[in-house]
Amino acid sequence: DQQVKQNSPSLSVQEGRISILNCDYTNSMFDYFLWYKKYPAEGPTFLISISSIKDKNEDGRFTVFLNKSAKHLSLHIVPSQPGDSAVYFCAASESGSNYKLTFGKGTLLTVNP
Amino acid sequence: EAQVTQNPRYLITVTGKKLTVTCSQNMNHEYMSWYRQDPGLGLRQIYYSMNVEVTDKGDVPEGYKVSRKEKRNFPLILESPSPNQTSLYFCASSFSMGAGEQYFGPGTRLTVT
């Protein structure tokens, strides 16, 4: 049973426009959420996170929104740049889970110049 | 430079030939973990370690062993590799903060024939 779902395998946007990547989860015990970015031939790198006590966290061009009632989070990238082209993984964790992160399958974002 | 290193980066081996993938981090992190990434399945946790001599199974531990004799090193051991262990492997580490940001190594591409 997949607890973290990224239903869009890929997304293509134009440079300068907004990219919105979505993630749904089923485990109501998750209380910490993260987004990772992965370029080919490299390991994932941490991008941004949000605790369940918040509904929004912003870091430069990246904003994560959390809707707990819908068990949904999204990553907004504004404006999108060609260098943002990568696979984005959503991950979730619950307190007391011994540091376990549960990852989604990832969404390939392509930003076209 | 703070980093997680893995060796080898690429390995082709045959069924049944024992192998070890090394992982080392220089950030004095307590927590370390191994993941495998497969097409359509995202990142799945194999084993994790909360500190020296403390290890536990993740979601897909079958066919793997780990050890944590030193804080900086967390090798992944395949005693008798099989073709279904052909995958991309990532080591990760973080401070003991419950959930939070994990730093990933560059990955090891393993092919078992």
- Alpha-carbon distance A16 to nearest alpha carbon in chain B (angstroms): 28
The phi and psi torsions of B85 (rounded to 5 degrees) equal -95, 5
Measured CA to CA, the distance from residue B68 to residue B49 in angstroms comes to 7
Encode pLDDT of A9-64 as tens digits: 999 999 999 999 999 999 999 999 999 999 998 999 999 999 999 999 999 999 99
- Which carries the bigger pLDDT value, residue B15 or residue B40? B15
Residues 55-84 of B with CB under 8 A from A: 56, 58
Would you place residue B101 in the very low, low, confident or very high pLDDT band (cuts 50, 70, 90)? confident
Ramachandran area for residue A110 (φ above 0: left; ψ -120 to 50: alpha; else beta): beta
Report the pLDDT value the prediction gives residue A93, as an integer from 0 to 100. 87
Note whether B99 contacts A103, CB cutoff 8 Å. Answer: no
Nearest to B93 by CA among B17, B21, B6, B19: B6
Give the pLDDT of residue B97.
53
pLDDT at B2 over 90: no
- CB of A44 closer than 8 Å to CB of A35: no
- For tokens 């979730």, the residue is A92
The strand pair at A102-103 and B4-7 is best described as unpaired
Closest chain B residue to A48, measured at CA: B101
The mean pLDDT value of chain A amounts to 93
pLDDT of residue A89: 96
Structure tokens at A10: 């890929």
pLDDT of residue B42: 87
**pLDDT computed for residue B40 by the predictor:** 84
pLDDT above 70: percentage of residues in chain A? 96
- Residue B99 reports pLDDT greater than 70: no
Cis ω on the peptide bond leading into residue B106 (within 30° of 0)? no
DSSP for residue B93: E
The alpha-carbon gap from A14 to the nearest alpha carbon of chain B, in Å, equals 25
Q: How much is the average pLDDT of A78-82?
A: 97
Q: What is residue A99's predicted lDDT score, i.e. its pLDDT?
A: 64
Q: Which residue of B has its CA nearest to A8?
A: B40
pLDDT tens for residues B21-78?
999 999 999 899 999 999 888 899 999 998 899 999 988 999 999 999 999 999 999 9
CA-wise closest residue to A109 among A20, A3, A7: A20
Residue B98: pLDDT over 60: no
Nearest CA in chain A to B31: A99
Please, how many CA atoms are within 13 Å of residue A83, restricted to the half-sphere of its CB?
A: 2
Residues B74 and B49 sit within 8 Å (Cβ to Cβ): yes
